[in-house]
């Protein structure tokens, strides 16, 4: 399995760093690879003053970038990342890391070495874009992480018969780990995860016995500052989500209220129109109009009686019409009309007395039928 394909960003994971470290340990170069170095230096000499102190660094960097085994089994960005770290480490050891122009020179150098070897320029496979100065904070954290990887290797590859007394590397590992992780913040999340992974890996290998050594796995500390900040960040996000949910609910309630306000005038207009259409079609007077009808007015109307359909008033006639059998049947089921009941005598105009007329009015108000209204529109009823 290729160990340098993913899982690394600013800081290499253990598998990738361990793989590249072994690949770059051998700095010897073949005659062919030395030829790439010389050709690149000759090209750069035309426009750059190459100091003698550069020779050792040039050879080391050339051995890294022409190591086909390292690049064949890795994403090019990861070995280039590690090469840049090794370059910064070398320049710092010589006190040359504060000069930006030096990094510009080495960018050009690794590009020329690659073109001398490959015969062309391939931007996605070259290391020139990764050559840059590392600030002190990033460099120190990378150095501590890779030192922890080295100490883990010491414990991992120590024979079981000897690991019981290997207190020194184990204790050093715990001290570097705790000093590094205690000050890490949210911006160092990648490094925190790398350290926690290393701690878990360490717990799965044979370790010195606590009877012999003071240090033990429980002495690895948790990233307290990071965890506190992480919890605050989690609570902040939860509060933001809750506030967004409240705002969304308020907006929805406001939208519903707006819809209701818009619908109220429409509903009122529909109700008004329905009332007008219903009242006009049936010709039914309201309660006030009925209650305001005097007895004298009803009697006056009865004197000027006109019978519908040319029918003559007969003494014993009942309210029946061959064209309205259902209406008569409906009347007979009401509390106001009972067949066989004797109603008051009619007056001289042929209309019922006022009591009978009032019963007619009640019937009129219940049925609301324009057909029925024809028979007592004059205020009279006939049974």
pLDDT at 336 exceeding the cut of 70: no
Is residue 197 located within the same domain as residue 306? no
Average pLDDT on 192-208 reads: 93
Is residue 29 located within the same domain as residue 118? yes
The model's pLDDT over 344-371, given as tens digits with 9 standing for 90+, comes to 545 554 444 455 555 555 454 544 444 4
Contact 67, 144 (CB under 8 A): no
Average pLDDT on 78-97 reads: 94
Is residue 169 located within the same domain as residue 100? no
Q: Has residue 57 been placed in a domain?
A: yes
pLDDT band at 170 (very low <50, low <70, confident <90, very high): very high
Of 222, 248, 271, the one marking the end of a domain is 222
Contact 58, 37 (CB under 8 A): yes
Q: Has residue 382 been placed in a domain?
A: no
The model's pLDDT over 122-133, given as tens digits with 9 standing for 90+, comes to 777 889 999 999
Place of tokens 């100490």: 151
Is residue 18 located within the same domain as residue 128? yes
**What local confidence, expressed as pLDDT, does residue 274 receive?**
74
pLDDT band at 93 (very low <50, low <70, confident <90, very high): very high
The model's pLDDT over 27-84, given as tens digits with 9 standing for 90+, comes to 989 999 999 999 999 999 888 877 777 889 999 999 999 998 899 888 999 999 999 9
Is residue 355 located within the same domain as residue 305? yes
- Judged by DSSP in three states, 273 sits in helix
Average confidence score pLDDT of the chain: 78
Is residue 353 located within the same domain as residue 335? yes
Instruction: Give the closest residue to 80 by CA, choosing from 40, 15, 20, 7.
Output: 20
Is residue 165 located within the same domain as residue 97? no
pLDDT band at 161 (very low <50, low <70, confident <90, very high): confident
What count of other Cβ atoms lies within 10 Å of the Cβ of residue 279? 13
Q: Has residue 311 been placed in a domain?
A: yes
User: Per the structure, how many domains does the chain have?
Assistant: 3
Average pLDDT on 135-156 reads: 96
Instruction: Give the closest residue to 319 by CA, choosing from 297, 336, 303.
Output: 336
Is residue 124 located within the same domain as residue 142? no
The model's pLDDT over 242-297, given as tens digits with 9 standing for 90+, comes to 888 998 888 988 888 888 888 887 777 777 777 776 665 555 555 445 445 555 55
pLDDT at 322 exceeding the cut of 50: no
**What local confidence, expressed as pLDDT, does residue 285 receive?**
53
**What local confidence, expressed as pLDDT, does residue 46 receive?**
86
Q: Has residue 217 been placed in a domain?
A: yes
Read off the tokens for 157: 């590859």
Question: Of 27-36, 204-213, 297-306, which range is least confident?
Answer: 297-306
- 308 is in which domain, residue-wise? 288-373
Q: Has residue 80 been placed in a domain?
A: yes
Instruction: Give the closest residue to 313 by CA, choosing from 344, 347, 351, 339.
Output: 351
* Cα gap 329→315, rounded to integer Å: 22
Of 79, 101, 134, the one marking the end of a domain is 134
Q: Has residue 28 been placed in a domain?
A: yes
Of 134, 163, 184, the one marking the end of a domain is 134
Is residue 70 located within the same domain as residue 48? yes
Q: Has residue 46 been placed in a domain?
A: yes
pLDDT at 333 exceeding the cut of 50: no
pLDDT at 149 exceeding the cut of 60: yes
């Amino acid at each position: 399995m290729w160990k340098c394909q993913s899982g690394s960003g600013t800081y290499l994971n253990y598998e990738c760093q361990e793989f590249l470290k072994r690949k770059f340990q051998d700095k010897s170069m073949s005659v062919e690879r030395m030829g790439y170095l010389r050709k690149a230096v000759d090209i750069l000499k035309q426009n750059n003053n190459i100091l003698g102190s550069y020779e050792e660094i040039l050879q080391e960097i050339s051995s890294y970038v022409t190591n086909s085994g390292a690049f064949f089994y890795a994403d090019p960005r990861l070995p280039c990342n590690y090469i840049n770290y090794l370059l910064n480490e070398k320049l710092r050891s010589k006190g040359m890391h504060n000069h930006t122009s030096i990094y510009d020179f080495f960018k050009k150098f690794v590009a020329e070495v690659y073109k001398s070897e490959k015969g062309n320029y391939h931007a996605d496979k070259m290391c020139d874009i990764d050559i840059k100065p590392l600030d002190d904070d990033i460099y120190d954290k990378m150095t501590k992480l890779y030192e922890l990887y080295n100490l883990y290797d010491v414990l991992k590859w120590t024979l079981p018969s000897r690991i019981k007394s290997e207190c020194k590397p184990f204790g050093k590992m715990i001290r570097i780990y705790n000093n590094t992780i205690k000050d890490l913040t949210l911006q160092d999340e990648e490094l925190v995860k790398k350290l926690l992974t290393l701690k878990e890996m360490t717990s799965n290998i044979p370790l010195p016995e606590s009877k012999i050594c003071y240090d033990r796995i429980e002495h690895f500390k948790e990233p307290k500052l990071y965890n506190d900040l992480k919890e605050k960040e989690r609570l902040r996000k939860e509060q933001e989500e809750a506030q967004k949910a409240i705002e969304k609910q308020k907006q929805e309630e406001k939208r519903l209220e707006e819809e209701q306000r818009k619908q109220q005038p429409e509903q009122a207009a529909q109700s008004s129109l329905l009332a007008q259409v219903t009242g006009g079609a049936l010709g039914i007077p309201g309660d006030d109009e009925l209650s305001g009808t005097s007895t004298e007015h009803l009697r006056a109307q009865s004197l000027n009686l006109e019978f519908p359909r040319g029918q003559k008033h007969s003494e014993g006639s009942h309210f029946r019409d061959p064209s309205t059998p259902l209406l008569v049947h409906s009347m007979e089921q009401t509390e106001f009309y009972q067949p066989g009941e004797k109603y008051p005598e009619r007056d001289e105009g042929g209309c019922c007395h006022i009591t009978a007329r009032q019963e007619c009015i009640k019937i009129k108000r219940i049925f609301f039928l324009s057909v029925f209204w024809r028979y007592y529109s004059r205020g009279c009823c006939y049974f």
